[in-house]
Amino acid sequence: MSPIAKIIRQARAIPVIVIDAIEDALPLAQALRTGGLSSMEITLRTAAGLEAIKRLRGAVDGLSVGVGTVLSADDLKRAHAAGADFAVSPGFSEDLVKLALDLGLPYLPGAATPGEVMRGRALGLDAFKFFPAATLGGPATLKAWGDVFPDNHFCPTGGVSPDNARDYLALAHVAAVGSSMPAPRKMVQEKKWEEIKALSHQFVASTQA
Residues tagged active-site: 41, 129
Can you give the chain as a three-state secondary structure string?
A: CCHHHHHHHHHCEEEEECCCCHHHHHHHHHHHHHCCCCEEEEECCCCHHHHHHHHHCCCCCCCEEEEECCCCHHHHHHHHHHCCCEEECCCCCHHHHHHHHHHCCCEECECCCHHHHHHHHHCCCCEEEECCCCCCCHHHHHHHHHHHCCCCEEEEECCCCCCCHHHHHCCCCECCEEECCCCCHHHHHCCCHHHHHHHHHHHHHHCCC
